[in-house]
A and B are shown apart, each in its own frame.
Chain A
């Protein structure tokens, strides 16, 4: 089955700096890669996703890049703010649909004011 590795497990940055979280996946058939943000005790919230037919997608301060050949994808957050502090999970699908997701272990991002 799919295996998703995520690094780093913790990341601390100063407000205004950029943050980058990287993930690798094992299943070459995966074609959908969402990123979720989870605040303590709350549900994961989808923040951005990318499909394998594009290499990059951007939404304001958040961007995701995908290298399908190398089987890795990354989340980039620019101009970080304290409210960006949360746990971020990457995921990859299997089974040909968005539905069955395998998640990375998560990255605890702390943005220091």
Chain B
């Protein structure tokens, strides 16, 4: 149980375009999902908390207008990187748990390359 699916696994886009990443909880409902970013050989940095039916909560230094989060259902959260730049190239990973007392499980990640 507790499977989190993320799509796409890899995406290459040109500077200035937008990219949407989907995160789905396959066998449970998730009122809260988390989006992380991981640069090569670095740790996972929390970007934002995605809340079903309400606005996302962003960590300090993360631009909410650049990284749009939509959590429209209990099984789907999307992260849209708008007007992407090469410095946005990174590994983006979502996570979710079945409830407040369950472990977090991660999606398979999305490798974004902006050319």
Q: What is the interface of chain A, defined by CB distance below 8 A to chain B?
A: 34, 36, 41-46, 49, 89, 97-106
Contacts and interface: CB of A to CB of B under 8 A. Distances in A.
Interface stretch (B13-21, B42-50, B63-71, B73-81): B42-50
B100 A106 contact: no
A34 B97 CA distance: 13
A43 B6 CA distance: 10
Chain B residues touching A, range: 20 to 34
Interface centre among A45, A101, A105, by most B CB within 10 Å? Answer: A101
B93 A44 contact: yes
Interface of B: 32, 34, 42-46, 49, 93, 97, 100-109, 111
A46 B98 CA distance: 14
A34 B104 contact: yes
A93 B10 CA distance: 29
Interface centre among B34, B103, B108, by most A CB within 10 Å? Answer: B103
